[in-house]
Each structure stands twice: as structure tokens, then as C-alpha cells.
Amino acid sequence: MNEKSNPIDPILIVDDELSILLAIDTTLQLSGFNNIITCQDSREVDHILQHKNVELILLDLNMPHVDGETLLDRIRQGYPDIPVIVVTGAVDVNTAVHCMKAGAFDYVVKPVEEGRLLSAVSRALDFRELKRENLALKQRILKEDLESPEAFKEIITKDKKMFAIFQYIESIAGSSQPVLIQGETGVGKELIAQAVHRLSRPKGTFVAVNVAGLDDNVFSDTLFGHIKGSFTGADRDRCGLIEKASSGTLFLDEIGDLSPSSQVKLLRLLQEREYFPLGLDEPRNTNARIVASTLADLKSLEHSGKFRKDLNYRLGIHHIHVPPLKERKQDIRLLTDHFLKLAAAELGKKTPTPPEELYTLLSNYCFPGNIRELQSMVFDAVSRHKSKVLSMDVFKTHIHREQESRNPRKTVTGSDNSYPLNITGDFPTIKEATQWLIAEAMNRSEGNQSIAAGMLGISQQALSKRLKK
């Protein structure tokens, strides 16, 4: 009868000293851990991880070829779920602590003390199992609401409004009718379109095109293609994007900017499922699903005569409105952490530690550029990051610049109904209004004077003096 593996996936021990490998292996074997891989050459670690699921790694720091710190960085980026216990000499304790800040689970000092080793290994294995249980629980909860949560894996959110959108997308997945996605710039409309595509289980591909600024000829040639000789320079047949999206999805971004003549051609495509390549008199049919997006209010464009009413109706048979980031406050921390990891991996840096005040600062910003703006801010900050805690300077500068450009400080004269304050009841005195503004800013900034001062447009020193009064 085969002995049960403990743990199910192996523990990997990496050390260039054979005696250390044997000592750790023996200690673990005697304690019941019988599923172990030993590696004396650090260059082989990447190959092992690529071909085997590993439960835990015991990693020496001082090795020839590839040192432990370099390997730790690779493991944290490529296999973040695998806990790493650093094994180091007594003189390298400071380095070991540095490694823990970089993501190591624990460290053990050489010569290895049996009790300390077994305690660290047991805690790491328990931690890994707890993460598995939490993930399984999260997936079970998610699957109670969604039949295909994997279709939305690219969308980072825990917002209820977003999950309601996911449920709606699942409900229309089997439809062949067009889908209209509306939302501000940077909210992730194309990611929503890709989710619609995945859930439709198409045989074809997802093809995207931004139609903003395309004149009628370019629009027709881009979407419908042309035949040889249809115009000067057309020396061969060219298929359009609608043909490339056959049995798949054609995503038309910024549909609100489409010219009137192009709107007529798109309407025919939606109604009759047919189109005319340039130079061809016989129509061709398509089975591609059309998904369109816009940040414009199509109803307003329709009323002003800039968008066809019948096209608006045809496009909006299935309609999705993606909420802006300012309405998804609980996603800000989630997205920030996600972009920090992405930026660090792309720039070849360790993921920086953000100060807790950063999330407070960001939660009080309106994000006119939404998720795309947050991503740009994070990437800029990480590119300038040197070490230790992530600086908030990039975020503060960006927010101040955007607020000044979008909302310069007003001088209110007379009655200005557009001013954002709406006063009801007794009219406050200057002193009362000032006290209220300071109290509200301190409340929104969770007591952070620097952030509150930025919201009020005064220096931190000036705010501090007012608070003392």
C-alpha cells in the first residue's frame, strides 16, 4: 500500500551545501514530512517550479550562480502563492529580515535548530492551507451569484453594482442581439465587451476598433473591406473587420462619434445582418455579434439630430451602464494593490508598500479618468519608487494638478446656482461655514491633516492653526 504524501505537493529545499540539504531533509522526514525535493544547484529552481506544483520552499541565501535574494524575487513574482522560508547564516540575519520585507514568509538561522525549523514549516503549511480554504470559500460564494465567474477574471472588483452587471451579462449571453455599453472614459468598457464575448462562447475571435473620427469612406473600408480595383490604390481584395469577426464579436468603441452616413450603414448591418464591401454590388452576410460602447449620452445626441433614433434603438436592445470609479469606492484599495503588483513586475522592482493614508487620499478623489487614471498614477509612482514605503508625492501632485485644471478656485458673486454647495435653512456665518468645511474635510480624510488641507486648498500649517482655535 502506497504511503500518503505529506504534504500532497512537495517541499522544495534549495541549498548549495549537500550537508545542509541532508540535515533539513532528514529532520523533516523524521517529523512525517515525506514529500520533499532537494536542489543543490540554484539554476534548476525555475525548471522545477515550471514542471511541478510546490507547496513550500526552503531557500538558502548565499549560493553560487543564482543567489537566494534573486530567486526570492522571481518566486514572489511568478509564484506568489508559494510561501518561502529563508535559511541563512547567523551573520546574515539582517539580510533575512530584509527578505521578509520583500515577501519571505519566515527565516531560519544556520545551524538549523530542529524545533525552529519544524515550527516555521508547520506555520507555512497551515498558512497555505488557510489561503486555499479562503479561496475556495470565495469561489463558492461567487458561484452562488454567477454561473461563469471565470469570464470576469480580468475585472478587478467587489462592488455590488458590478456583480449585478455580471449577472445581467450572463442572462444575455445566449442572445445574438447587439449590446450597448455606456460609461465614462477609463471605466473598463472594453473589458465588459470581452466578458460578453467570452460568455457567448463564440467560435470566432474578438475584434475591436475605435470608430471615433473615422470618415465614411475609412469607416466602410475598415469595417466592410473592399475588392480589387474599387478605388485608386486598391490593388488587391481586402477583408474588413466584420469578416475577421465572423462567428465572433465586433466591438465598436466610441460609437457616439460616428458620422450620419456611417450610421446608416451600421443600421443596415444590425437590421439585415448584411453589408457591402467597397466596389461590390452584392451584399455579404455576417454572423458576428455587435457590441458598441460610448461615453456620450446617445439620447442627447439623438435629440440634437446627431444620432439616429432607430440606430440608438437597435444598439440598445441590451444596455449596460458601467459605474464610474467614484461610485465604486471599495474597489479603490483592490485596484491600487493590483496595479502596484503589475507595475512592480513590469518595471522589475519589488512591490512597494503603500502607506495606509494613500487609500484615504484616493477615496476622496473624483477620478475623472477612472480606472485608467488610477493605473497611470500607480505606474508613475512605482517608476519613481526607490525603497521602503511608497511615496504619496506623485499622487498628491497629480490630484492637485487635475483639481486645479478642472475646477479652478471660484469667486462667487451674486447668485450662482452651479456652485456645489446647497445651503438650506438658516444661512451660516463665515465662521460657521468655515468650521463645517474643516470638520467635513477632517471626517473625509479620516483625521489626516495633510489630506484635509489639500481638500480645503490651504496649507497644513494653516489648517493646524484653525484646528487649534
Q: Please report, for the domain that includes residue 80, its CATH number.
A: 3.40.50.2300
Distance CA 126, CA 312 (A): 56
Same domain, 120 and 71: yes
287, HSE (Cβ side, Cα atoms, 13 Å):
8
Report the domain count for the chain: 4
Residues whose CB is less than 8 angstroms from the CB of residue 442 and which lie 6 or more positions away in sequence, other chains included: 449, 452, 467
Residues spanned by the domain of 438? 419-469
With the C-alpha atoms ordered 69, 71, 72, 78, is the resulting torsion angle positive or negative?
A: positive
Q: What are phi and psi of 239, to 5 degrees?
A: -80, 145
pLDDT at 230: 80
Question: Which of 137, 161, 190 is the last residue in one of the domains?
Answer: 137
Q: Tell me, what CATH number does 405's domain have?
A: 1.10.8.60
Print pLDDT tens along the chain (469 aa).
456 678 888 999 999 999 999 999 999 999 888 999 999 999 999 999 988 899 999 999 888 888 888 898 888 888 888 999 988 876 666 777 778 777 889 888 888 888 889 989 988 888 887 777 566 556 555 556 788 889 999 999 999 899 989 988 988 888 888 999 999 999 999 999 999 999 988 889 999 999 988 889 899 999 999 988 888 777 888 899 999 999 999 999 999 999 999 999 999 999 888 898 888 888 888 989 999 999 999 999 999 999 999 999 889 889 999 999 999 999 999 999 999 999 999 999 889 999 988 998 998 898 999 999 999 999 999 999 987 789 999 999 998 888 777 665 554 444 445 555 666 666 777 877 788 888 887 887 777 877 877 777 787 777 777 777 7
Same domain, 233 and 375: no
Which amino acid is it at 469?
A: K
With the C-alpha atoms ordered 139, 144, 150, 154, is the resulting torsion angle positive or negative?
A: negative
Residue 4 falls within a domain, yes or no? no
Same domain, 156 and 254: yes
Distance CA 219, CA 169 (A): 28
Calculate the alpha carbon distances from 187 to 27, 135, 142 in Å.
53, 26, 22
pLDDT at 442: 81
pLDDT at 136: 59
pLDDT at 7: 85
Same domain, 244 and 382: no
Same domain, 392 and 423: no
Residue 2 falls within a domain, yes or no? no
Same domain, 161 and 132: no
Cis amide bond preceding 178, omega within 30: no
Residue 299 falls within a domain, yes or no? yes
Q: Tell me, what CATH number does 433's domain have?
A: 1.10.10.60
Residue 72 falls within a domain, yes or no? yes
Same domain, 171 and 295: yes
Same domain, 171 and 210: yes
pLDDT at 1: 42
Same domain, 130 and 15: yes
Same domain, 311 and 348: no
Question: Which of 269, 293, 323 is the last residue in one of the domains?
Answer: 323
Residue 1 falls within a domain, yes or no? no
Q: Tell me, what CATH number does 193's domain have?
A: 3.40.50.300
Residue 145 falls within a domain, yes or no? no
Same domain, 404 and 438: no
pLDDT at 414: 45
Same domain, 226 and 112: no
Which amino acid is it at 414?
A: G
**Residues 456-469 as b or e (16 or more Cβ within 10 Å = b):** beeeeeebeeeeee
Residue 281 falls within a domain, yes or no? yes
Question: Which of 323, 344, 367 is the last residue in one of the domains?
Answer: 323
Residue 143 falls within a domain, yes or no? no
